[in-house]
Structure 1
Amino acid sequence: MPASPLALDEFDHRLPELLQRDSAATLTTLGEAVGLSASAVQRRITRYRRHGLMREIAVLDPALLGTTTLATVLVAMERESAKLHAAFHHRMRAAPEVQQCYSLAGEWDYLVILCTTGVAHCREIADRLFMDEGNIKRYETRMVFDVVKTGLHVPTRAPVKRKR
């Protein structure tokens, strides 16, 4: 069950926007940008972490590794069952090669993004995750040729509509 939304004020909209661009920015720099003291910024960041709004990870550039292969996998389930979907969710979360997994509306039930070390590894992972499962009607794997854009930015509020 998703956590309830965290109440955000104007500072709480601006700080996460800045942190998403550069999480290594100093508390002083962040405070100057939004009009708060460094200690006030630290308290807010601590609150974001405590409530699960923010966590820090290292994001690697796969192009610089030279050994990564990305693939998208569309998945259609055989039967609708909360228990079977929960088992699929657990399997996707447990697989380190699964970068992202989305539940979809329409013909396909899921979109899975795989990051592997090559085509053979991709096939091995797809076979393990999708062929041996039992509740998957079909799946289609599409290799990614070029990455046009990747991002992790999450908007903190809806854009303001401009009057015409």
Structure 2
Amino acid sequence: MLDDLDHVLLDALQRDASRTLRDLGEVVGLSPSAVLRRVQRYRAGGLLSHNVAVLDPRHVPEVILAVCLVTIEDDTPEEGRRYRARLLDTPEVQQAYEVSGDYDYVVVLACVGMRHKNEVAKRLFQEDPNVKRYTTLFVLDPVRTGTVLPTRRP
């Protein structure tokens, strides 16, 4: 159960996890040790899973971002687990979503150059007999990228 301070603290952490405990405490009105206890609780409960540096793709011009729309042939739970495992084991997969509608998955790839993208697509989509079809949309301009998730309604 999250209280109002948790929501504010989690928002601040998502926007900049490099802030000091003192700085975060000033944002939420808690002591640094109280902030630390909350952060430790988030980690222990699995709510806070990673602290990472997020690169702006506009500053890494050799990176190709591709959104792949995937339809699979057999959507049994066993095949779904197998395909999800392949997606999770592929470092170039930045995001993957099981979706409703005409496609089964939306997969976001980040690759270095077209050759690399083609190799990854071949491995994930062309060589998998359960992939019925896929479509690739190349990102021309990453207008907005982000990782911040809302923890409550505004």
TM-score of the two chains, using structure 2 as the length reference: 0.95
Structure 2 equivalent of residue 56 of structure 1:
51
Deviations 1:73-132 (A, max 9, x none): 100011221111111000000000000000010110000000000112111110111111
Q: Distance in 1 between matches of 2:130 and 2:148?
A: 33
Q: Distance in 1 between matches of 2:20 and 2:93?
A: 32
SS in 1 for 2:30: coil
Q: Distance in 2 between matches of 1:120 and 1:142?
A: 16
Deviations 1:110-160 (A, max 9, x none): 00000000112111110111111111111111111111100001101012x
Q: Determine if the alignment matches structure 1 residue 35 to structure 2 residue 29.
A: yes
SS in 2 for 1:75: strand
Pick 1 or 2: higher relative contact order, CA cutoff 8 A, min separation 6.
2
How many residue pairs match? The answer is 153
TM-score of the two chains, using structure 1 as the length reference: 0.90
SS in 1 for 2:106: strand
| 1:71 Cα offset (Å) | 0.5
**Paired amino acid for 1:138:** R
**Paired amino acid for 2:35:** V
Q: CA RMSD in A?
A: 1.0
Q: Determine if the alignment matches structure 1 residue 75 to structure 2 residue 70.
A: yes
Structure 1 equivalent of residue 98 of structure 2:
103
Q: Is the 8 A contact 2:66 2:137 kept in 1?
A: yes
Q: Which runs of 5+ in 2 are unaligned?
A: none
Q: Is the 8 A contact 2:58 2:142 kept in 1?
A: no
Q: Which runs of 5+ in 1 are unaligned?
A: 1-6, 160-164
Q: Determine if the alignment matches structure 1 residue 47 to structure 2 residue 10.
A: no
